[in-house]
Amino acid sequence: GENVEQHPSTLSVQEGDSAVIKCTYSDSASNYFPWYKQELGKRPQLIIDIRSNVGEKKDQRIAVTLNKTAKHFSLHITETQPEDSAVYFCAATPGGNTGFQKLVFGTGTRLLVSP
Amino acid sequence: DTAVSQTPKYLVTQMGNDKSIKCEQNLGHDTMYWYKQDSKKFLKIMFSYNNKELIINETVPNRFSPKSPDKAHLNLHINSLELGDSAVYFCASSQVSGFEQFFGPGTRLTVL
């Protein structure tokens, strides 16, 4: 089955720096790659997603890149702010587009942005 | 106007007991899910229902029995609770043809 690896497990940056989180997946048929942010004690919330027919997507300070050949995708956060501190999860949908999506999550990255 | 809601938010119980968690979504979605998040924050899918039919069952012990009375509700019943069942359980929903999954607030289950 699909396996999603995520690195690093923890990431500490200074406010204003950039943060990059990387994920690799195993199922070449995977075609949807969302990123979720989970603040302490809260629910995971989608922050950005990318589909396999797109190489890059941006939304203000957040961007995601996808390399289908290498089977990896990354989350880039620029000009980090203390409120970006949270656990970030990548995910992939294995087995292609069946209409019934199972999300396989990475192991999470705890991002800490220091003022 | 809550999109995905769960009850209860906290559940503390003794080993061997039976408990249920309820989930409701008012987004009009066709598909609902249960996820388990353990103490290391790993998020793993347990079940998925589409229009009241079970479509994903991820090798979960049969002490866990989901039930979907209609497409807006997905409940999770757990028999003979064990210490290892302690976790946060999240319900989520999505459109069949869409991809974004919306999560509920979670139910923190503690088995003593």
d(CA A39, CA A33): 20
d(CA B6, CA B93): 12
What's the average model confidence in pLDDT over A86-105? Answer: 80
Contacts of B58 in chain A (CB under 8 A): 102
What is the average pLDDT score of chain A? 92
pLDDT band at A97 (very low <50, low <70, confident <90, very high): low
Query: pLDDT tens across A7-24, in order?
Result: 999 999 999 999 999 999
Rounded Cα gap, residues B50 and B21, in angstroms: 19
Q: What is the pLDDT of residue A93?
A: 86
What average pLDDT does this structure show over A50-75?
A: 94
- Give φ, ψ of B53 to 5 degrees: -105, 135
- Are the Cβ atoms of A103 and B101 closer than 8 angstroms? yes
Q: What's the mean pLDDT in A58-85?
A: 97
B70 touches chain A (CB under 8 A): no
Q: How far apart are CA A64 and CA A62, in angstroms?
A: 7
Q: Flag whether residue B99 sits within 8 Å of chain A, measured between CB atoms.
A: yes
